[in-house]
Structure 1
Amino acid sequence: MGVFETKLAEMGITLPEAPAPAANYVPYVKVGDMVYVSGQIPSGPDGLIIGKLGDTMDVESGAEAAKACAIALLAQVKAACDGDLDRLVKVVKLTGFVNSTLEFTEQPQVINGASNLFGDALGEVGQHARAAVSAPSLPFGVAVEIDGVFQVK
Structure 2
Amino acid sequence: MRNQAASTYASPRLANELSAWTSGNLVQNTFLQRTEAILRMQSNLFDGFESLSHSWLEHRQDDIRSALSAVERMGAIENAAERSSLWNEWLADRMKRWSEEASAMVEQAQSVSRTIADQTSATVQRSLQAKERHADGAGVRRDRKSEETNS
TM-score after normalising by structure 1: 0.22
Higher strand share: 1
- Rg (Cα) greater in structure: 2
Higher helix share: 2
